[in-house]
Structure 1
Amino acid sequence: MAIDLPVLTRDILKSDDHLVQSFADLNALKQQGARTAIVSAKGTMVTDSDGNELIDGIGGLWCVNVGHGRREIIDAIRDQLETLDFYSTFYTFTHPAAAALAQKLGQLAPGNLNKVYFGNSGSVANDSAVRILQHYYRRLGRPEKRLVLSRNGAYHGSTFLAIAMTTPEYSKGWDKADNMVHHLKKPHYWREGDGMSEAEFLDMLMEDMRASIERIGAENIACFIAEPIMGAGGVIVPPEGYHRRAGDICRAYDIKFVADEVVTAFGRLGHFFASQDVFGTTPDIINTAKGLTSGYQPLSATIMSDEIHEVISGPDGVFLHGMTYSGHPAASAAALANIALMEQEQIPERVRTTGKLFEKTLKALEDIEIVGEVRGSHFMAGIEFVSDKQSKALFPEAMNIGMKVARRAQARGLIARPLGHILILSPTLILSEAEIARIGDILRESILDVMAEVRG
């Protein structure tokens, strides 16, 4: 049975009038030319409804790590659906794909993180981690340990709790679970360092963490949640040693460390998981999604330590948390095929070389007058625009400088993500050297165009 989809741009956008886009200015979307319909994709490229081929510089949304149209994953999904289309992992039921994937993730994750709960998004993974840890402490006779330490600049999702753990800029005018979350200082040395050395800045951040714990009371705090590199908060790389020292503080105060690796896992920083291999710490829980299936199916994983699982699975250990689609067979098959493909083609290992070339190519843009800082690591980058390099002053918010650059880049064949005064790049992990050079050229031309426009 064929599905009759709209083909022409005008017909697609007419149907799209009924769709509510995520994190979009819904009023601005009413304007002519505000929306782009993507109709096909292959490798590093996508094609819009007008036939324009574009480099997918945002990897779908931080997630299409192995590239578009990989037959290995598509065939695995099809084969799984033909064998077992759906059965839940509720109650006493399991199935081969979810079981095999849980085992594989336990093998890949650091330390004794061997137990896996599946959800369908990063938001669900982060919510689940907090619920699990609150239950963990309740079973230990410490129900008051339920609060969460997060950070300004963080992004952990958009459900009621996850958005509360996210930097407040993402929830202006919206309600959230404010009473459960305390935000620590943003670990952005270039913007927040105030004349300190990086080592002094790191000491200040750790003192802020200790002081906050003492003020709130460690007896009230369940966990500290942190992205190894902040993603949608602006691609902020913390000072060297930040996560290791934060982990030490958490252990000293009996606070669990939750690593939000929704973006950084599955090769984006050159390893399957970044916490231990890149940042030198083993958290109590790692959450992941996005690159877990390279976006081919919605799936997330909350990977917890044996110690946490032992407590919550003891006598009367009913797990009163679950989603209908947890461990969906097709999603689990997609993840297994994705991981196998990454291992076979050594994609994380390749990223350690090509990702550094990508870093170097974008870093070269700092010679442009309005580029204040290019930051990030490997295939995770942010470009911050300033009206004055010395003072780091920003352009007026209404100018929407990131959107201006993104539109010029798209006209030249590159999709990039605007975020106010920042432009974010999170491409597929299979870029060639020639494609990396082309991205650098498009960005340079686009930024210089916008600079000429705004400087008059």
Structure 2
Amino acid sequence: MAAIPKATGGNGDAIGDGPDELTLLAERHLVQPWPVSGSIGAEARGRLEAGEGIYVTDAAGRRLIDGPAGMWCVNAGHRRQELADVMAAQAMELSYNSPWYTTNAPSAVLSKRLADHAPDGLDHVFYTTGGSSAVETALRFMQFANNVKGRPDKKLIVSRQGGYHGSTYLSASLNGRPRDHDWMDSAEGLVIKLTCPNPFRRPEGVGEAEFCDALVAEFRDVIEKVGAGRIGAFIAEPIMASGGVIVPPEGYLVRMRELCREHDILFIADEVVTAFGRLGHVFASQEVFGLDPDMITFAKGVTSGYFPLGGVMIAGRLFEELRRSNHSDAMFAHGLTYSSHPIGCAVALKNLDILEGGLLDHARDVSGHFQSSLKALEDLPLVGEVRGLGLMACVECVADRVSNNPLTLDLEVGKRIDTHCQELGLLVRPLINMCVMSPPLTISKSQIDDMATILRRGIELTTDDLVREGLWHG
């Protein structure tokens, strides 16, 4: 492996020769995502030094299974030579072009290949730099289209409690996770949030089919109360990822789509996580859920995290409607400096080659073993439910089984499990009282067994800690 060039200070001297100095640099200058005010701008998080396959190596030299695949994104695995080669080759061929007045070849070819994989009719793509900007683009397009059509009031956006759609102002306003809005402003007047479609948290005594009926009825009631003429879009992750890998009741998404079609509300499937193999297909909407949305947002796995890229697949009929309008001069005044970036699109094309060349088949082949191996953890006293689909799963720990609501104690459970697992060789993404697993798609069945074994031991050690400290009695 080639040596990494040393960073240099303003005088040209090498810096960061030791882990302590790198930690100090991070604490002094680096602002990490999602900090708390007590440590903002003055913290250093655990450092990773290298990655290969499904593994990463931390600053202490420990080799860890990358349980969350970075941030749901390293689908093809770390250190893929072919992806690195394409990145370098494209940089030497054409490193950048302005999408305002030129086009590059990789973006045009990628657009056709993505359209071939998308549900029928979704044959256009607008490229962005990531998931947040993809969602922002979809929403701004909805607003623009309704303005052109003479429907300036049809702008409200319906999302769900527990959902996550991004960090830009408008996309973040859709988020329905606990604590996301405690200290942050949002466009509250534009968003309506429906009940989280989490079967595990459904009312006691209510069956899953009945729960689904209630969720659909809630949306119908909102449409009747607010008026379809004011609702522009409904956005949903097919599986809520950061909300805890929430798999909705069977038929829920299709029924919500039917309501949208009935009332001329755009259905946006947020596939930032579920696309590019996470559920065994390039896009999961149609293949897994029988869903034909008006738009699909994507990012993350499109380049396996090797280069920032996202986008929105948009139904061609929506453009046809605009071209037939009486406002031929109306401008969709939206764009990004790095839209259609040639390096990102070239990497995405090679990533698609890898997926189509057998990785999608492999992901589907091992997903059953992945789900059953983690499902076996439900025999642990601290585990309330293990749920998931494809190669994404969540182990939800529940300390209070009487009220079925997480205690304040649960805020620490995930972190404690993660700490133990890292000592044992597994990187976990703790979400309060939940452990999310979404490893690289290249993972083997034996490596899945290793992951499940370590996670089991991490939960057992955490349980022992809580009992020993008198914080939990089972």
Shorter-normalised TM range: over 0.9
In structure 1, how many angstroms separate the alpha carbons of the residues matched to 2:391 and 2:374? 10
Are positions 1:321 and 2:334 aligned together?
yes
Instruction: Tell me which residue corresponds to 1:177.
Output: 187
Equivalent position of 1:20 in the other structure = 31
Match of 1:119 in 2: 128
Answering whether residue 47 of structure 2 is matched by residue 37 of structure 1, we say yes
Question: 3-state SS of the aligned residue for 2:224?
Answer: helix
CA contact (8 A) 2:129 2:339 kept: yes
What residue number does 1:134 align with? 143
Aligned equivalents of 2:16, 2:384: Cα separation in 1: 43
Q: Secondary structure at the match of 1:257?
A: strand
CA contact (8 A) 1:400 1:420 kept: yes
Counterparts of 2:291 and 2:299, CA distance in 1: 20
Q: Could you list the runs of 5+ residues in structure 1 that have no partner in the other structure? A: none
Q: Deviations over 1:80-126 (max 9, x none)?
A: 00000110211x31110111111111111111101110000101000
> Do structure 1's residue 352 and structure 2's residue 364 form an aligned pair?
yes
Determine if contact 1:86/1:329 at 8 Å carries over to the other structure. yes
Would you say 1:364 and 2:364 are equivalent positions?
no
Residue range with higher mean Cα deviation, 313-322 or 295-304? 313-322
The letter for the 1-side match of 2:119 is P
Partner of 1:101: 110
- Is the partner of 1:144 in helix, strand or coil? coil
2:418, 2:67 → 1: CA distance? 10
What corresponds to 2:393 in structure 1?
381
After TM superposition, the structure 1 stretch with the greater mean CA deviation from structure 2, 65-74 or 15-24, is 15-24
Q: Mapping of 1:14-93 within 5 angstroms?
A: 14-17=24-27, 18-25=29-36, 27=38, 35-90=45-100, 92-93=101-102
Query: Which residue of the partner structure matches residue 343 of structure 1?
Result: 356
Q: 1:441 aligns with which of 431, 438, 453?
A: 453
Indicate how the Cα distance of structure 1 residues 233 and 362 shifts in structure 2: closer, same or farther if over 3 A, else same. same
> How many angstroms does 1:189 deviate by?
1.1
Query: Paired residue for 2:432, among 417, 420, 423?
Result: 420
Secondary structure of 1:161's counterpart equals helix
Deviations 1:309-365, CA, capped at 9 Å, x for gaps: 223455225321000000111111110110011111x21221112111111111000
Residue 258 (1) aligns with residue 268 (2)? yes
SS of alignment partner, residue 104 of structure 1: helix
Alpha-carbon displacement from aligned partner over 1:372-427 (angstroms, at most 9, x marks no partner): 01111121111111114465343424751111101111111100111111111111
Q: Does the CA contact (< 8 Å) of 2:16 and 2:22 recur in 1?
A: yes
Please, what TM-score do these two structures have when normalized by structure 1? 0.96
**Distance in 2, Cα, partners of 1:105 & 1:321:** 22
What's the counterpart of residue 169 of structure 2? 160
Per mean C-alpha deviation after superposition, the further-off stretch among 1-10 and 248-257 is 1-10
- Report the Cα distance in structure 2 between the residues aligned to 1:359 and 1:208, rounded to whole angstroms: 31
Amino acid at match of 2:169: F
TM-score when normalising by structure 2: 0.92
Kept in 2: contact 1:135–1:312 (CA 8 A): no
2:198 maps to 1:191: no
Give the whole-Å Cα distance in 1 for the aligned partners of 2:251 and 2:17.
51
> What is the distance in 1 between the residues matched to 2:410 and 2:363?
37
Are the equivalent residues in 1 in contact too, given 2:144–2:332 (CA < 8 A)? Answer: no
- Once the two structures are TM-superposed, the CA of residue 29 in structure 1 deviates from its matched residue by 7.6
Residue pair 2:6, 2:16 contacting (<8 A) in 1 also: no
3-state SS of 2:212 partner: helix
Helix, strand or coil: the match of 2:293? coil
Q: State the SS of the aligned residue for 2:193.
A: strand
- What is the distance in 2 between the residues matched to 1:188 and 1:442? 27
Amino acid at match of 2:214: M
Count the aligned residue pairs: 453
Aligned mates of 2:367, 2:360 — CA distance in 1: 10
**In the TM superposition, what are the counterparts of 1:283-298 in structure 2 within 5 Å?**
283-298=293-308
Q: Distance in 1 between matches of 2:351 and 2:241?
A: 22
Q: Distance in 2 between matches of 1:31 and 1:442?
A: 32
Work out the CA distance in 1 between the residues paired with 2:307 and 2:273: 15
Q: Tell me, yes or no, if structure 1 residue 334 matches structure 2 residue 334.
A: no
Find the partner of 1:410 among 396, 400, 422: 422
1:161-240 equivalence runs, <5 A? 161-169=170-178, 170-240=180-250
| SS in structure 2 of the partner of residue 439 of structure 1 | helix
Match of 1:309 among 285, 305, 319: 319
Offset at residue 447 of structure 1 (A): 0.4
* 1:194 aligned counterpart, secondary structure: coil
Give distance in 2, aligned partners of 1:312 and 1:26: 46
User: Which residue matches 1:455?
Assistant: 467
What does residue 12 of structure 2 align with? none
- Where 2:289 maps in the other structure, the secondary structure is coil
C-alpha change, 1:152 and 1:399, in structure 2 (3 Å) is closer
